[in-house]
Amino acid sequence: MIAIRQARAEDWPALWPIIEPVFRAGETYAVAVDIEEADARTLWMDTPLRTFVAVNAADGTILGSYFLKFNQPGGGNHVCNCGYIVAADARGRGVASALCEHSQREAIALGFRAMQYNLVVATNTGAIRLWQRHGFDIAGRLPGAFRHPIEGEVDALVMYKRLVDLADR
């Protein structure tokens, strides 16, 4: 069973070994591959509005995490942005789906009306299918907007989902 709760400062030592290999690989996140741990911590734990962790309900082991933040200030601040990460040894068990669903409920509760992923790497087909299954549309395609360490310049997708119907005030 997966439980999702807000991240606490003391989760970081368990979170960083999950996040670090993903950032260092540079294949899915637009983050410097040599980012310092302190900056990664700021990015994941401090800058966002909220950070959550998925844990194994039986033993509390962290299985994954997501952050939720404003995608833009001012007239764009009703749209949020999230980033998700699943521990390498916890993949294929529905953790990403659970995080995605939780993030949408949380976003609605916080008053957001849409969710946007600004840069989904086109080679990350598993993620794209997953977000589509959760109601996200490919709103745009940016030719060569991501430098993949192996593939070179690959397209990036902008994915978007209205959480609240446009007509609903």
Q: Which residues bind a second copy (CB under 8 A)?
A: 26, 29-33, 35, 72-79, 113-114, 116, 118-119, 121, 139-149, 153, 156, 158, 160, 162, 166
Q: Please state the closest distance from residue 22 (CB atom) to a second copy, in A.
A: 12
With beta carbons less than 8 A apart as the criterion, state whether 110 and 164 touch: no
Q: What share of the chain is helix, strand, coil (3-state, %, to 5)?
A: 35, 35, 30
Q: Please state the closest distance from residue 97 (CB atom) to a second copy, in A.
A: 24
Q: Please state the closest distance from residue 1 (CB atom) to a second copy, in A.
A: 35
Kindly tell me which of 92 and 149 has the beta carbon lying closer to a second copy: 149
Q: How many Cβ atoms from other residues are within 10 Å of residue 58's Cβ?
A: 8
Contacts of 131 (CB under 8 A, 6+ apart): 100, 117, 120, 159
Rounded distance between C-alpha atoms, residue 137 and residue 116, angstroms: 10
Kindly tell me which of 2 and 27 has the beta carbon lying closer to a second copy: 27
Kindly tell me which of 95 and 156 has the beta carbon lying closer to a second copy: 156
Kindly tell me which of 8 and 141 has the beta carbon lying closer to a second copy: 141
Rounded distance between C-alpha atoms, residue 52 and residue 50, angstroms: 7
Q: Please state the closest distance from residue 80 (CB atom) to a second copy, in A.
A: 11
Q: Please state the closest distance from residue 148 (CB atom) to a second copy, in A.
A: 7
Kindly tell me which of 44 and 52 has the beta carbon lying closer to a second copy: 44
Q: How many Cβ atoms from other residues are within 10 Å of residue 32's Cβ?
A: 12
Q: Which residues pair with 103 in a beta bridge?
A: none
